[in-house]
Structure 1
Amino acid sequence: MEASNKELFFELDSEKSEYGCKHYKRRCKIRAPCCNEVFPCRHCHNEAKSLVSSPSERHDLCRHDVRQVICLICDTEQEVSPICTNCGIKMGEYFCAVCKFYDDDTSKGQFHCDECGICRVGGREEYFHCKKCGSCYSVKLRNNHVCVENSMRHHCSVCYEYLFDSLKDTTVLKCGHTMHFECLMEMKEHNQYSCPICFKSVCDMTKVWQKIDDEIAATIMPEDYRYKKVWILCNDCSETTEVMFHIIGQKCGHCESYNTRTIAPPMQ
């Protein structure tokens, strides 16, 4: 006797980790309405279409446009739904009807944000939506970050991947700008400590400034430059100051940062 849909569901549910792709574990594929081709997920589609030879054929799939999915258990193509209309298998432990999104790994804490318009991970209780920044941030940043309008709706200034729906972890810098966390770590590994967008310091540089103080104290300038003055603009506090020139660096007279650059003297 053939197994009922309910029996089939319980039998196959234990094998769910065998299905899916490198991005998500699930039991369905999607048909991309933009090109009418079948892919394991939208990321697989976007990766494949970014490699086609013809620039005119390169495109991304809008998650909200997906209308058809194919069950990986019984190969039935059907309209988007959480359960296969033919074999009754649950196609993903997490399902979002808005994003047409399936995923078995619920430990990610997936939730849909209506204001973002997409699904996020990390647990709804751990995030809030900042209307000015235009994205969900950790509750630790509520009333504790510099707002930059639509700060997440741009490309990472290091790798140039679009941040708003990136799969990689993002971080909010002290200045309010955002970038991938791994890109920030890569910057620090190469001794780059200023935001690529506004040039403000991305972390507490107090100890670094103290070391520069010591280097300057130990480095005597030649007589011709010993009393030379220059005007500087501080990237951290945005103040201008006239200071003594030194080959190692110029210290801001307001916030004592060495994250400065020389400028022309202000107009009288």
Structure 2
Amino acid sequence: MEKGHGDFGCSHYKRRCKIRAPCCDEIFDCRHCHNESKNSIEVDPLDRHEVPRHEIKKVICSLCETEQDVQQHCINCGVCMGKYFCSKCNFFDDDVSKNQYHCDECGICRVGGEENFFHCSKCGCCYSTTLKNSHNCVEKAMHHNCPVCFEFLFDTTKDITVLPCCHTIHLECVKEMERHFQYSCPVCSKSYCDMSRVWERLDREVASTAMPQVYLNKMVWILCNDCGENSEVNFHIVAHKCLKCNSYNTRRTRGVGASCSSEISEMIE
């Protein structure tokens, strides 16, 4: 039963079986391998599709090549095709260190240990128990694409984080944004971390930057992305500060070449 453990599988899962995709009748190491192959840029858009995991009916043992109905142990050689096996998702994985579990309400398997997560019916997804009494419910919170890489979040294999504004995003995508000095949510533009030191630096920069005489008495209307307040402030070429919350994460709405783009395209480290 342990023969071949860790020797078979793909970049997504270590497992001792392959699947026959019910949608195209082709054999792949896993559904992710199928989806990557069938949705690559080389494939005609009309031919692109994804395998429906719950419709998988046949698997092929990686050791003896026997094709059979979905089950944990090979009917021919008896090998365990996946130490973790879910008959609901037709899912196999030999790496049980992920602490996989099946959530009936999500309808899919997740990782991290069932004891460490709870399912929010309104959000329609599982969250860490550390958020149980503090998260703000957003209907279908993870039933959309990541706003950075556009991968569907609900069944992604990557780590997900919930920003203070309650929008969900891949953790790695947040880190990539930070590497490019972007500290606002790509969905709603609210700052997702403490920006007080940045605002203090901008205070100094605004105070030390003299304005041309022609702009000294010019006023503009701004919208604060952080608190949502509209304010009329003195025009400045560096940035505009919200009168309510002191944030510089603002954008002009009226006056002096008003622009709907954010005033701060690149936050100062």
Structure 1 length as normaliser, TM-score? Answer: 0.90
Are 1:16 and 2:11 counterparts?
no
Over the aligned positions, Cα root-mean-square deviation in angstroms equals 1.5
**Correspondence for 2:102 among 104, 107, 112:** 112
Q: What residue number does 1:133 align with?
A: 123
In the TM superposition, what is the alpha-carbon distance from 1:104 to its structure 2 partner? Answer: 0.7
In the TM superposition, what is the alpha-carbon distance from 1:226 to its structure 2 partner? Answer: 2.1
Q: What residue number does 1:5 align with?
A: none
In the TM superposition, what is the alpha-carbon distance from 1:132 to its structure 2 partner? Answer: 2.2
**Correspondence for 1:67 among 57, 61, 69:** 57
In the TM superposition, what is the alpha-carbon distance from 1:199 to its structure 2 partner? Answer: 0.9
Are 1:192 and 2:182 counterparts?
yes
Q: What SS is found at the alignment partner of 2:6?
A: helix
What are the within-5 Å matches in structure 2 for residues 79-228 of structure 1? 79-228=69-218
Q: What SS is found at the alignment partner of 1:185?
A: helix
In the TM superposition, what is the alpha-carbon distance from 1:262 to its structure 2 partner? Answer: 1.4
Q: What residue number does 1:46 align with?
A: 35
CA distance, structure 1, for counterparts of residue 219 and residue 135 of structure 2: 36
CA distance, structure 1, for counterparts of residue 180 and residue 252 of structure 2: 23
- Aligned residues with identical type, % of pairs: 59
CA distance, structure 2, for counterparts of residue 145 and residue 215 of structure 1: 36
Q: What residue number does 1:238 align with?
A: 228
Q: What SS is found at the alignment partner of 1:24?
A: coil
**Correspondence for 1:250 among 240, 244, 257:** 240
Structure 1 residue ranges, 4+ long, deviating more than 6 angstroms after superposition: none
In the TM superposition, what is the alpha-carbon distance from 1:91 to its structure 2 partner? Answer: 0.9
Q: What residue number does 1:4 align with?
A: none
1:24-72 Cα shifts (integer Å, max 9, x gaps): 1111111111111111100111111113533222110011110111111
In the TM superposition, what is the alpha-carbon distance from 1:214 to its structure 2 partner? Answer: 1.1
Q: What residue number does 2:264 align with?
A: none
CA distance, structure 1, for counterparts of residue 219 and residue 43 of structure 2: 56
Q: What residue number does 1:34 align with?
A: 23
Deviates most, 102-111 or 164-173:
164-173
Amino acid at match of 2:178: K
CA distance, structure 2, for counterparts of residue 133 and residue 218 of structure 1: 47
CA distance, structure 2, for counterparts of residue 141 and residue 263 of structure 1: 36
1:70-126 Cα shifts (integer Å, max 9, x gaps): 111222111111111222211111001111000011111111111111111111111
Amino acid at match of 1:55: P
CA distance, structure 2, for counterparts of residue 213 and residue 139 of structure 1: 39
CA distance, structure 2, for counterparts of residue 131 and residue 26 of structure 1: 32
Aligned residues: 254
> Which runs of 5 or more residues in structure 2 are unaligned?
256-269
Amino acid at match of 2:26: E
> Which runs of 5 or more residues in structure 1 are unaligned?
1-8
Structure 2 length as normaliser, TM-score? Answer: 0.90
Q: What SS is found at the alignment partner of 1:230?
A: strand
